[in-house]
Structure 1
Amino acid sequence: MRNKIMKIDQIELKFKDTKGHIKSIDEFSEMFAHGFYFVEHPKEMDGTRVIMYVTSNFENRTFSFNFNRKDIEWGHYWIDKLVQKWTIIWEWYNQADIDSCKKFDTVSSTIEIIKKRFGEQSEEYREQLALPFEVIKKSSNVEETSESKMNYNNMEWILEYDEKNSFERIRSEKIYFDNDLKVWIDLEYSLSAIREIIRKVDVYTRTYVED
């Protein structure tokens, strides 16, 4: 199983038009007033291909799909869905905002409670920190903040009717099966590369805090 899990080092997006011309994210985004993320795609873009080059332990792998392809269930273009889905996964896994990497208030409050309960230098405190966050949160009785609650609800919707993924499996095994790309992904290893490509796609519509 482990040798079938993708560990992503880098993701690069390019766009190929019907004449075979290939553009980078920056070049392609200049064709739109505020980038191409979450905007209506012109009909003349039909036939343009999104080409995703993934560098990983599987060597170089390429995924490609039509720029104007829509996902009926999500109600968005595929490119928008992938960015939105992986933003939700990144934020749930890290319990933090993807732009600033700032932890959700629930995380900070929970850690403070168990720190006061057991003492920062105690073995019990270290054991608690090693547990899945959902277990710690339940035992500390901290109310969820609006941001963490919204993220949880979004993640719950993603996992609904998903036979391969679950909250428990993702947290304990640190892997996720991408049903769109048909591949298992090592989250612990890959999420930093995934965040980087999300930042590049979304740079025209958000202001990011640099690491």
Structure 2
Amino acid sequence: MTVPAARADRPVAFAWRRTLLRHVVVIGLSAALVYAFALVHGQWSPMHRWNRAFADASLAMLAITMSIGPVSRLWPFLLRIVAYRRETGVHATLLATVHTVVILGGWVEWDLARLFGLEIVPQTGEYVMFQHGFGLANVLGIAALAYALMLMLTSNDRSIRLLGSPVWKFLQNGAAVLWGLAVLHTGYFLFMHFLSFHRQTPEPNPLQWPFVTAVLSVLLLRAAAFLSTWSRKRNSAR
């Protein structure tokens, strides 16, 4: 029996609508986060305000992405949110990309040497290392963005077919590495960056403790999900 083409296309069209709806929801959440963080940094110059707003929104979306799996394991009735993990990861990467472009254009002014902590000495016209931590933190940030872009570009069904399920899962399971790089990069700018300047240290960033809370929450959720899964498998094996 031949299935009519129109009827066969219905599941595909329905899947596309659901994917589009998830993107719309995540875009709305991303925009709300950027706006909220821009308000938090309202006293800063426009460049730093939006630089940090997009960076903080990206980290928040990445924290959500890292939490979706553990949450669904601990509370199976929330299993539906797993479908959003792909979209939250994609938009976390897009937000990080905007953050990077703002940095390149507004802070280092497309002088890539400055991105790695180098500055020109007017007397000699040569680059010298001026901010060691700034350069190292940006290396971590670049590595995180490169890995995030790789995950984003392979976060689709076509890549699963092309790479094969085992290779694709191995690649995607490396998201913990991305999270670690992003945490180190962000932690430097929240706690250490201004300590290297010979001037009065500015007021602490109000997002320091929310950042610590988010990092610990992701760690505890993943640890709890691991222990819960291990306990269930151990009990079922008896």
Q: Identify the TM-score tier after normalising by the shorter chain.
A: under 0.3
Give me the TM-score of the superposition, normalised by structure 1.
Answer: 0.26
Larger radius of gyration: 2
Which structure's residues are more often strand, by fraction?
Answer: 1
Which structure's residues are more often helix, by fraction?
Answer: 2
Give me the TM-score of the superposition, normalised by structure 2.
Answer: 0.24
Higher relative CO (Cα under 8 Å, sequence separation at least 6) belongs to 1
